[in-house]
Amino acid sequence: MRNYINKFDRKMDSSIKSIPKWAYPIMQFFTLVGQPPFTIGVAAAILGYGFALNKDFYLIAGFIAIATITVSSVLKIVLRRSRPVNQYVENMLFKTFSFPSGHAAGSLVSYGLVAIVISYRWPELAIAALATVAIVIFFIGLSRVYLGAHYASDVIGGWIVGLIGVIAIILLDK
């Protein structure tokens, strides 16, 4: 299994690294909006909105999003997968492990929650919100591989963790 994952990562890395150099600032932007201060901030704002207006769904959904991001961080510590070896990783301010990608998990659950809130509040904007959020989440994940911070399997693992959080939020409303 490990050989299959390594082969997959090498193939994806090669494909993604073939994206032209002019995309570098774009990828930096998407990595920035996937940073924990943004993703946790979004989740905390929705939690705070629920608390301020006594709306249980938003309160609990914000909590689930923050818990999902926390679980992603704990998984990194438990699984201890090393990051790729490159200059980008060497210059990272915070040295953490690679799997799962916290940017991928955090962006999927937090920005996914934004799409859910917009869809519930303004149903006519649901498709636009979901499409926009999906594009942002995709580019955040892509940026992590392009910049060399993660392997593609790290990003997919992060998306799975984030998706579990989104599913929990959706089931909360049933």
List pLDDT tens digits, range 37-93: 999 999 999 999 999 989 899 999 999 999 999 999 999 999 998 888 878 778 877
The answer to whether the beta carbons of residues 99 and 82 sit under 8 Å apart is no
What gap in Å lies between CA 126 and CA 109, rounded to an integer? 16
Q: Give the count of domains, the chain.
A: 1
Look up the domain containing 100 and give its range: 25-172
Residues in the chain: 174
pLDDT of residue 174: 63
Percent of the chain past pLDDT 90, that is, above it, reads 74
Q: Is 12 a member of any domain?
A: no
- Assess whether pLDDT exceeds 70 at residue 10: yes
Q: Is 65 a member of any domain?
A: yes
pTM: predicted TM-score of the whole model, two decimal places: 0.91
The pair of three-digit structure tokens given for residue 128, joined into one six-digit string: 């636009």
Cis upstream peptide for 36 (omega within 30°) = no
Q: Which helix (H) or strand (E) holds 28?
A: helix 24-33
Q: Is 99 a member of any domain?
A: yes
Q: Is 51 a member of any domain?
A: yes
- Assess whether pLDDT exceeds 80 at residue 96: yes
Q: Is 43 a member of any domain?
A: yes
Q: Is 19 a member of any domain?
A: no
The answer to whether the beta carbons of residues 103 and 162 sit under 8 Å apart is no
Q: Is 2 a member of any domain?
A: no
pLDDT of residue 172: 85
The answer to whether the beta carbons of residues 5 and 98 sit under 8 Å apart is no
pLDDT of residue 139: 97
Q: Is 164 a member of any domain?
A: yes
The pair of three-digit structure tokens given for residue 139, joined into one six-digit string: 């580019």
The answer to whether the beta carbons of residues 42 and 58 sit under 8 Å apart is no
